[in-house]
């Protein structure tokens, strides 16, 4: 059977339309089905799986899928880290145009000068969802000393306070300006790509289906290559990075699913931030409190940002805090208060076809089937690793994923460690819970060192207000 990895998210609509135009229609995929394991209409020789784009090149490179469709940026990210991987690009597609752009805040450019002059600056901070591409770019620019901060998303939120340079995927450079940043260099100019695994192409007869895939859309302009700054940008002074000492307290609050619960916790504590609502936000809401600065970032990135000292307080999920602490047990970040909201269980799930109701029964069945290693997929790779050791799985492999994780079981992993509130996503993908790992709620986290004097007093006052909001 031929296997095809398809993206969720913004590309889902264009990909569904292209498949239908090529005679490979899948109505559940087009309609946004919660089931991530699908098949083409009228064909039983093609299996579809739906993933987050970032995971698709990896799955194709591993040989788990014959073909995949994803943005060129994620293929470039994989190949920047593993230049000899097993992915080959069959063709660009005529949709999903995007650019990968390096951008900085105007005040950073005033302080450091044009980009090419940064080679003499020490301590440059580069933030991106694409750390491999960021590393390659920093080497090409011959930056002397720099650090790469990998984030789950919202890289545009970090300059200038928490990063000097951000590498972003955008539809147009004007999107960079909308974030208050200036685009400096275009690293990639491309579209969605149809990709395949070299070994799969060499070893199988895929002629009938590959012909339809190749005919899906007209070719786009071939992807661009790294563009260095224009000559007019090269005349500049060398300027040392300015000091980053600060007197105020910095609080990170989340976007996404956790925003509604965080807004409710703030309201219960009598805190209102202008620009941060139940459903909408600006990246830098006004706190209305002297000495308090607020920024909106992804909750997944908060433990690392607090540990680095970029923030003093943050509101995130206990799941993300534990995943961080399992990786870095000595990290200077800790839970200050359980807000008791946004409660969901972190569970271990397996395929409904596994004849077991407990993890022990499932392990016994797999071993009886000759499994030599148990694969555990999760957005929480460090929690998954801790779980595997705590539950004595024996030989195991942790597979880090970036979302849409229900698609990995059973073909690409035996166990999924995932958060669930109602279990509806498990049921839609024919999964069942066999073990409860822990309950997660949103919580206030803080740095355990480096906060003194007035800053420490304000942190304690804020935690007290959150605690009083629980009692009220």
53 and 123: one domain? no
205 and 73: one domain? yes
Model confidence pLDDT, tens digit, residues 314-358: 999 999 999 999 999 999 999 999 999 989 999 999 999 999 999
pTM exceeds cut of 0.95: no
Band (pLDDT 50/70/90 cuts) for residue 214 is low
| Residues 417-435 as b or e (16 or more Cβ within 10 Å = b) | bbbbeeeebbeebebbbbb
Structure tokens at 159: 């300059």
CA distance linking residue 397 with residue 378, whole number of Å: 11
Band (pLDDT 50/70/90 cuts) for residue 472 is low
Instruction: With a cut of 80, say whether residue 305 has pLDDT above it.
Output: yes
Confidence (pLDDT) at 119: 87
Task: Give the torsion through C-alpha atoms of 385, 387, 391, 396, to 10 deg.
Answer: -30
Band (pLDDT 50/70/90 cuts) for residue 421 is confident
Model confidence pLDDT, tens digit, residues 248-297: 999 999 999 999 999 999 999 999 999 999 999 999 999 999 999 999 99
88 and 118: one domain? no
* 219 is a domain residue: no
78 and 156: one domain? no
253 and 298: one domain? yes
* 223 is a domain residue: no
* 231 is a domain residue: no
Number of domains in the chain: 4
Instruction: With a cut of 50, say whether residue 222 has pLDDT above it.
Output: no
Q: By percentage, how much of the chain surpasses pLDDT 70?
A: 90
379 and 466: one domain? no
How does strand 146-150 pair with strand 124-128?
Answer: parallel
φ, ψ dihedrals at 342, nearest 5°: 55, 50
* 234 is a domain residue: no
| H or E element in which residue 208 lies | helix 207-214
Confidence (pLDDT) at 280: 94
Q: What is the CATH number of the domain that holds 278?
A: 3.40.190.10
* 322 is a domain residue: yes
Per DSSP, the chain holds a count of helices (H) and strands (E) of 16, 21
376 and 428: one domain? yes
Summarize the confidence of residues 105-126 as an average pLDDT.
Answer: 92
* 235 is a domain residue: no
Band (pLDDT 50/70/90 cuts) for residue 83 is confident
304 and 163: one domain? no
154 and 126: one domain? yes
Model confidence pLDDT, tens digit, residues 137-169: 999 999 988 999 999 999 999 999 999 999 999
Cα separations (Å) of 324 from 71, 302, 306, 343, 468?
28, 9, 11, 19, 28
142 and 179: one domain? yes
User: Which residue range forms the structural domain that includes residue 273?
Assistant: 249-332+446-471
* 407 is a domain residue: yes
83 and 127: one domain? no
CA distance linking residue 85 with residue 94, whole number of Å: 25
9 and 80: one domain? yes
Mean pLDDT of the chain: 89
Strand arrangement of the beta sheet that strand 292-297 belongs to: 292-297, 249-254, 313-317, 431-447, 333-351, 415-420, 374-378, 396-400
Summarize the confidence of residues 186-190 as an average pLDDT.
Answer: 91
* 134 is a domain residue: yes
């Amino acid at each position: 059977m031929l296997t095809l990895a398809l993206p969720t998210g913004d590309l889902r609509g264009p990909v569904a339309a292209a498949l239908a135009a090529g005679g490979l229609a899948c109505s559940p995929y087009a309609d946004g089905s919660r089931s991530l394991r699908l098949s083409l209409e009228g064909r039983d020789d093609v299996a579809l799986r739906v993933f987050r784009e970032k995971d698709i090149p990896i799955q194709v490179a591993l040989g788990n899928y014959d073909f995949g469709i994803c943005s060129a940026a994620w293929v470039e990210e994989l190949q920047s880290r593993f230049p000899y991987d097993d992915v080959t690009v069959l063709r660009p597609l005529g949709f999903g145009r995007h650019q990968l752009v390096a951008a900085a805040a105007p005040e950073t450019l005033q302080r450091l000068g044009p980009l090419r002059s940064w080679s003499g600056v020490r301590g440059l901070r580069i933030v991106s969802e694409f750390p491999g591409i960021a590393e390659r770019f920093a080497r090409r620019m011959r930056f002397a000393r720099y650090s790469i901060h990998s984030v789950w998303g919202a890289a545009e939120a970090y300059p200038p306070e928490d990063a000097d340079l951000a590498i972003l995927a955008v539809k147009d450079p004007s999107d960079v300006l909308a974030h208050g940043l200036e685009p400096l260099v275009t690293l990639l100019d491309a579209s969605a790509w149809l990709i395949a695994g070299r070994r799969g192409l060499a070893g199988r007869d895929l002629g009938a289906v590959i012909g339809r895939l190749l005919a899906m859309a007209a070719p786009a302009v071939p992807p661009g290559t790294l563009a260095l700054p224009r000559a007019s940008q090269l005349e500049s002074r060398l300027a040392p990075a300015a000091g980053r000492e600060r007197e105020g307290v910095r609080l990170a609050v989340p976007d996404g699913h956790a925003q509604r619960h965080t807004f409710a916790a703030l309201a219960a504590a009598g805190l209102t931030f202008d620009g941060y609502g139940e459903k909408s936000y600006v990246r830098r809401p006004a706190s209305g409190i002297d000495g308090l600065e607020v920024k909106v970032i992804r909750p997944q990135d908060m433990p690392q940002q607090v540990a680095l000292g970029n923030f003093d307080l943050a509101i995130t999920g206990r799941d993300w805090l534990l995943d961080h602490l399992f990786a870095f047990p000595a990290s200077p970040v800790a839970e200050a208060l359980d807000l008791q909201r946004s409660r969901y269980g972190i569970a271990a799930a397996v395929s409904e076809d596994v004849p077991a109701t407990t993890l022990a029964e499932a392990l016994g069945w797999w071993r009886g089937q000759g499994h030599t290693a148990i694969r555990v997929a999760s957005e929480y790779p460090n929690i998954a690793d801790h779980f595997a050791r705590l539950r004595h799985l024996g030989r195991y492999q942790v597979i880090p994923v970036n979302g849409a994780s229900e698609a990995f079981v059973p073909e690409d992993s035996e166990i999924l460690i995932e958060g669930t509130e109602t279990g509806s996503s498990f049921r839609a993908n024919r999964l069942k819970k066999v073990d409860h790992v822990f309950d997660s709620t949103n919580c206030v986290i803080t740095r355990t060192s480096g906060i003194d004097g007035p800053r420490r007093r304000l942190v304690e006052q804020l935690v007290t207000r959150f605690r009083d909001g629980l009692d009220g």
